[in-house]
Structure 1
Amino acid sequence: MNLFSLKKSGKKIAAVASAVLVLSLTLTGCGTKQTSDPAPQAVEPNSIIKIGVISPFTGPAARTGQEFKDSITMAFSEINNKVGEHPIEFKWIDSESDAEKAARAYESAIVNDKITVGFMDWHSWVSVSCMEVAAKYKMPHFFSYGATDVVNQKYKSDPGKYEYWLGKAWPTPEKLSIGYVKAVEEAINKGLWKPANKKVALFGVDNDWGRGFCAALAEQYKAAGWEVVSTEWVGLGETDFYPLLNKLKGLNVSMVAGTMSDPSSVSSLIKQSKEVGLKSIIASDGLGWVGEWYKLTGDASDYVIDQIPQWTTPEAKKFQADFKAKYGYEPGAAVAGMSYDYSKFMIKVLEATEKDYGSITTENLFKEGKEKVMTGQLTYTDGLLMKEYKYTPETFPDPVIDQDHYMFPVVQYFGGKGSVVWPDAYKNADLKIPNQ
């Protein structure tokens, strides 16, 4: 054997010996046991939780989407965007207020961006569409605002398929709208209002939310002895209501009631109602959804009633002030306030999932939602606006609605401020009637 071969062989022997020594020291130092069974795969302590938030970040309801984004960001920043050892990242999914576009964007977030869980949504018709995506990919989606009864109908038609749509942030329109009729009926019974007639005209944005809301109102007014003389539909983003309002004025109705889905539409309707001289009491559901509604309407909103949460507690008022200081605009209680509350509820779900299952995964979040949230074992009681956010098998996918849990009071606006006129437990003013 030549000198080169000896050197080469010596290097190989040394390398093998060194590798064996390192392996031996490693096994001895770590106390590792030799076993034929594979070691369990530990969850990475810094594994990222990706939350996909659906909201209209562009389009006619973009102002609402901005409040969602800012309030969610504010809530999660309070825990430094981290649950345990898990950093939180957000995928902001722009619905563009369009059901098909939202579904495609949601699917892309699941398939391409690998989100861990879905969260929130504003529009009813978007929720109906995205329910299909969540079912297809078995993606747990928590706390959507989409209130339409179509969501409930789909869930009840096939609970095994649609059980991934885990809890609505808003209940069905019939549960949200009942206060409008009760408030005016109480005023009539107390002699505060003697309407010339019991005729009402309804208006609504022409989609799942508006149709469901107006259908609920119609039944409630009829049950109270009112005549629904007209139901008018408008498009999303519509701002010219002069023909509609002149028609309603000609019908000589005592009340006009309905709902829109975007700030520009509802504020235009209210301003133009004053310009045409409409004397009816207006119930405009959602007028105060965004915080700057009074800047959009001015005193045209005086006498309008709205069923909506308010900044009432010291904690709620502090949040309102902190939000405005941080982002430079006025938040709305129903949008920023409630999405902040539901963000805190979502944080509680994430923490409970890790505690109950040892890791925060898509599958485990679904289990936590189904076994704990749906059954009322996991609730949220530290909210700014409601006493308790809770679901039960009897109410699901809606939350529990009553004065001890979740309820919207009816307020009447004057000078940009809302006074509660219903129910009596929250009331601080009587319903005032414009000159008719």
Structure 2
Amino acid sequence: MKKFMTLFLTIGILIFPMGIGSLQKARAAEPIKIGTLLDLTGPMAFLGPLLKSGIVKALEEVNYTVAGRKIELIAEDTANDMNVSLEKTKKLVELDKVHIILGPLMGDAQMAIAPYLADKKVLASTFYSGTGELHTKFKNWLNYPTTLVGMTIPLGYYAAELGYKEIITLGGDYEGGRGFIQGIKLGFEAKGGKVIQQIWTPVGTTDFGPYLSMLKKADCLAYFVPAPPEQVRLLKQRKEFGIKIPVLGTILTGQLVDPILAELGDIAVGLQGQAVYVASRKDPLNEKWVAEMTKQFGHPPGDFESNSYAITKAVLAGLKATNGDDSFNKLWPAVLKVKINTPQGPLAFSQEGVAIVNGYIVEVKKKEGKYYFDIVKTYEKVVDPTMKKK
């Protein structure tokens, strides 16, 4: 019996390393599958291709390979629908066996899939901010470029720094819109200001006249609307109604792209507001990236391309640190330690997975018949103050 046990252990010792080696080789032979949930149809369909181009650019830079493993990108259309988002998420996880999902864009869809992804231990990321609940409750989301509150809180600070004492907010009435407006309110009140009126508009509003007629007397109107057509209508109707109250906008560079600025014309000149990414920012890395993106995709990049590119680069850096291990328990802590420079600026993460980036205040200017954004102020390494209390 003793001889038999000795023989058994000897064989086991010889076989076990071979088994481990075989498993490692098998894993290396399998591609890392990255899923992405994009709006390719529906009311936000114009944004899907922009987000995808940023992801593709980041993957092309590493030849779709990290730590010796090939990368396969699997894109699914959510059609801006919560139910479709959950259906496509389950397909990516259960059929395609992805461990990483980038997107979706809209906050309602993020919350619809969050419980499922947390249960399956899939690393997920926002494209354009998300509610704080993603990381306080589910704890498997990278929140880029920061929380909803963190993204717009610099605008509240800036409004107070302009000397405004009382402001009105106008926002799209959905989860993301309420989060963006909360950031403005918190920032303004932190500097001693007072929000005297809050107006909420349905997503897809075609006539802002009834809401503009409700405005009380104040120093400024700070707003967020979820789509470029709405921002165009709001700004044009403000002029048509002869409303003189100063306005401060949000995600200006993301929504007011060159064709939209051209449509607005001189109405936009002098408009100030918050921005995540500024293509004209003087920085060698950014200038090189803008030139390459413009050549490859036929137009200068904006917020959406920059956001999806930066978060993909962060995930790639995490995969490199884990030597290609995309399991959640290995990849999640590795990504949280990532510190890189991106076209947007420096990028790091909090221990909860919230990105820490610079926030910008920009102004629309005109030179030689061309409209452009100029950086007025930079708020470095913005942190959502509500996170400090958690």
Task: Tell me the TM-score normalised to structure 2 length.
Answer: 0.82
Q: Select the structure that is richer in strand.
A: 2
The alpha-carbon distance between structure 1 residues 236 and 412, as it changes in their structure 2 partners (threshold 3 A), is: same
Which structure's CA Rg is the greater one? 1
**Paired residue for 2:355, among 362, 378, 399?**
399
2:361 alignment partner in structure 1: 410
Task: Tell me the distance in 2 between the aligned counterparts of 1:347 and 1:184.
Answer: 37
1:16 alignment partner in structure 2: none
Of residues 203-212 and 116-125 in structure 1, the stretch that sits farther from structure 2 once superposed is: 116-125
User: Which amino acid in the other structure matches residue 368 of structure 1?
Assistant: K
1:168 aligns with 2:143: yes
Task: Tell me the distance in 2 between the aligned counterparts of 1:353 and 1:227.
Answer: 48
User: Which amino acid in the other structure matches residue 355 of structure 2?
Assistant: P
1:281 alignment partner in structure 2: 246
Task: Tell me the distance in 2 between the aligned counterparts of 1:67 and 1:235.
Answer: 25
1:5 alignment partner in structure 2: none
The answer on whether the counterparts of 1:200 and 1:256 sit within 8 Å (CA) in structure 2 is yes
Of residues 51-60 and 214-223 in structure 1, the stretch that sits farther from structure 2 once superposed is: 214-223
Task: Tell me the distance in 1 between the aligned counterparts of 2:186 and 2:56.
Answer: 40
| SS of the residue 1:62 aligns to | coil
| SS of the residue 2:309 aligns to | helix
2:335 alignment partner in structure 1: 373
Task: Tell me the distance in 1 between the aligned counterparts of 2:344 and 2:380.
Answer: 15
1:319 alignment partner in structure 2: 289
Q: Percent identity?
A: 22
Matches within 5 A, 1:418-433: 418-423=373-378
The alpha-carbon distance between structure 1 residues 143 and 220, as it changes in their structure 2 partners (threshold 3 A), is: closer
The alpha-carbon distance between structure 1 residues 60 and 342, as it changes in their structure 2 partners (threshold 3 A), is: same
Task: Tell me the distance in 2 between the aligned counterparts of 1:305 and 1:239.
Answer: 23
1:100 alignment partner in structure 2: 83
1:350 aligns with 2:331: no
Matches within 5 A, 1:225-374: 225-248=192-215, 251-290=216-255, 291-292=257-258, 293-308=260-275, 309-311=277-279, 312=281, 313-332=283-302, 334-354=303-323, 359-361=324-326, 363=327, 366-374=328-336
Task: Tell me the distance in 2 between the aligned counterparts of 1:113 and 1:372.
Answer: 23
Matches within 5 A, 1:51-66: 51-66=34-49
Task: Tell me the distance in 2 between the aligned counterparts of 1:223 and 1:48.
Answer: 48
User: Which amino acid in the other structure matches residue 249 of structure 2?
Assistant: S
Task: Tell me the distance in 2 between the aligned counterparts of 1:134 and 1:280.
Answer: 45
Q: Per-residue deviation at 1:424? A: 8.3
The alpha-carbon distance between structure 1 residues 202 and 81, as it changes in their structure 2 partners (threshold 3 A), is: same
User: Which amino acid in the other structure matches residue 83 of structure 1?
Assistant: V
| SS of the residue 1:307 aligns to | strand
The answer on whether the counterparts of 2:156 and 2:186 sit within 8 Å (CA) in structure 1 is no
* Residues 33-92 of structure 1 deviation map (CA, whole Å, 9 limit, x = unaligned): x94646413333431221111232222222222211011111111222222442222121
Q: Per-residue deviation at 1:232? A: 1.7
* Residues 392-412 of structure 1 deviation map (CA, whole Å, 9 limit, x = unaligned): 33xx23233xxxxx2112112
User: Which amino acid in the other structure matches residue 313 of structure 2?
Assistant: K
* Residues 335-370 of structure 1 deviation map (CA, whole Å, 9 limit, x = unaligned): 21232122222221222222xxxx534x2xx12333
**Paired residue for 1:111, among 78, 94, 110?**
94
CA RMSD of aligned residues (A): 2.6
The answer on whether the counterparts of 1:180 and 1:410 sit within 8 Å (CA) in structure 2 is yes
Task: Tell me the TM-score normalised to structure 1 length.
Answer: 0.74
How many residue pairs get matched? 356
The alpha-carbon distance between structure 1 residues 373 and 322, as it changes in their structure 2 partners (threshold 3 A), is: closer
The alpha-carbon distance between structure 1 residues 70 and 326, as it changes in their structure 2 partners (threshold 3 A), is: same
* Residues 188-222 of structure 1 deviation map (CA, whole Å, 9 limit, x = unaligned): 3xxxxxx7xx4322111111111122233234334
Task: Tell me the distance in 2 between the aligned counterparts of 1:331 and 1:61.
Answer: 17
User: Which amino acid in the other structure matches residue 265 of structure 2?
Assistant: G
The answer on whether the counterparts of 1:134 and 1:141 sit within 8 Å (CA) in structure 2 is yes
| SS of the residue 2:29 aligns to | coil
1:212 aligns with 2:176: no
Task: Tell me the distance in 2 between the aligned counterparts of 1:261 and 1:62.
Answer: 13
The alpha-carbon distance between structure 1 residues 117 and 223, as it changes in their structure 2 partners (threshold 3 A), is: closer
Task: Tell me the distance in 2 between the aligned counterparts of 1:114 and 1:424.
Answer: 40
Q: Per-residue deviation at 1:422? A: 2.4
Task: Tell me the distance in 2 between the aligned counterparts of 1:390 and 1:243.
Answer: 43
The alpha-carbon distance between structure 1 residues 370 and 199, as it changes in their structure 2 partners (threshold 3 A), is: same
User: Which amino acid in the other structure matches residue 310 of structure 1?
Assistant: V
Task: Tell me the distance in 2 between the aligned counterparts of 1:305 and 1:56.
Answer: 28
The answer on whether the counterparts of 1:285 and 1:306 sit within 8 Å (CA) in structure 2 is yes
The answer on whether the counterparts of 1:55 and 1:95 sit within 8 Å (CA) in structure 2 is yes
2:385 alignment partner in structure 1: none
Task: Tell me the distance in 2 between the aligned counterparts of 1:131 and 1:279.
Answer: 43
Matches within 5 A, 1:134-153: 134-142=117-125, 144-153=127-136
| SS of the residue 1:89 aligns to | strand
| SS of the residue 1:289 aligns to | helix
Task: Tell me the distance in 2 between the aligned counterparts of 1:295 and 1:176.
Answer: 26
The alpha-carbon distance between structure 1 residues 397 and 84, as it changes in their structure 2 partners (threshold 3 A), is: closer
Q: Per-residue deviation at 1:135? A: 1.4
Task: Tell me the distance in 1 between the aligned counterparts of 2:162 and 2:248.
Answer: 14
Task: Tell me the distance in 2 between the aligned counterparts of 1:368 and 1:119.
Answer: 18
Q: Per-residue deviation at 1:323? A: 1.5
Of residues 225-234 and 407-416 in structure 1, the stretch that sits farther from structure 2 once superposed is: 225-234
> Is there any run of 5+ residues in structure 1 with no aligned partner, and where?
1-33, 155-161, 189-194, 401-405, 427-436
The answer on whether the counterparts of 2:39 and 2:45 sit within 8 Å (CA) in structure 1 is yes
